[in-house]
Amino acid sequence: MFWTNVKRIVRTGFFNFWRNGTVSLASVLTMIVTLLVIGFIIMGSAVLKTSLDELRNKVDINITFIPKAAEEDVLSIKHSLETLPEVARVEYTSKEAVLEQFKERHADDQAILAALDELNQNPFGAALNVKAKDPSQYQSVANFLQGKSALPNTGLTIIDQVNYYQNKTAIDKLTSIITAADKLGLVLALAFIILSVITAFNTIRLTIYISRDEIGVMRLVGASTAYIQGPFIVVGMIYGLMAGILTLVILAPITYWLGHITENFFIGFNVFLYYLHNLPQIFLIIILGGLFIGAISSVLAIRKYLKV
């Protein structure tokens, strides 16, 4: 009996979908817009995440040492920094490499190169480049360095400069921007999803309104709530499934067209390549999202006519 009712509900749902062709078309088109919004939210979130990650990667602090600092002491500080949970990586540059990099940057300035030759010694010290896991953690790294700036048993400072203090204002602003962007992205995503559900709900409610007399008759003859709701839930899920498939088809040329634009403006991020590489996940989100929105909108829309 149970499976017989299920078959009837599914068959009635498909029949109602084809019977109300114009309304079904309008509902599917509306849900396509709804799912496109969700798709654009996914793409926009990926662009935002990539841009923020790139900004994070550009933030670091450099530690320069006095020329007389022994290599083993510099490497000791490097090892200590690598043990910090806030630190992602530390790169060491010898004072010889620092000198070569300086010469390369000023290869066209013969006066500076001549002055270096007259010194007959390397005026530069070694350097460490520190990358924290998050820009907000550089203050902790800088505080740690204040306690590690003297050679053992001598009390002589070996750290010449930590550029965190010169860049602190920029780092703090970047941290605030990243935090605000994360919150804004979440709020916008939730807002658009809620608006999308409301739009789909109103469209499906129109479909159910057309069948209100039929619902009333079924209620009078004693049909169960599940039996009355079933066909409309099936119809809503058909809307969602068809809209999801069409949305995925529509997103392909749109992302292809936007691919070169996003690649030029968003640090090499190609939205079309992202769409292709993440198609299985996007497929599940769009299709399951369409099925869920269609089903839940049908359940909510029909409650008025069932008086439950």
Band (250; pLDDT cuts 50, 70, 90): very high
pLDDT in tens, 40-68: 888 877 887 777 777 777 778 888 888 88
Average pLDDT of the chain is 77
- Decide: 62 and 142 in contact? Cβ < 8 Å: no
Digit-coded pLDDT (tens) for 79-101: 888 888 888 888 988 888 888 88
- pLDDT category at 248 given cuts 50, 70, 90 is very high
Nearest 5°: the CA angle 102, 107, 111 is 90
Q: What are the distances in angstroms from CA 65 to CA 4, 89, 120, 142, 266? A: 82, 18, 19, 15, 36
Confidence of residue 249 (pLDDT cuts 50, 70, 90): very high
Give the tens place of pLDDT for each residue, 262-285.
Answer: 777 766 778 888 888 998 999 998
Q: Which class for 271: exposed (0-12), middle (13-18), buried (19 or more C-beta within 10 A)?
A: buried
Q: Is a pLDDT exceeding 50 seen at residue 150? A: no
Domains, the chain, in order of start with CATH, read 2-55+175-306 (no CATH), 67-157 (3.30.70.3040)
Spatial separation of the C-alpha atoms in residues 112 and 118, rounded to whole Å: 10
68 within 8 A of 122, measured Cβ to Cβ: no
The residue whose two tokens read 């997103």 is 251
Region 106-130: what's the mean pLDDT? Answer: 77
Nearest Cα to Cα of residue 125 among 150, 156, 159, 148: 159
User: By mean pLDDT, which of 25-29, 192-196, 292-296 is the weakest?
Assistant: 192-196
Report, as an integer, the average pLDDT of 186-209: 72
Beta strands 159-162 and 61-65: pairing type?
A: antiparallel
Q: What is the pLDDT of residue 308?
A: 46
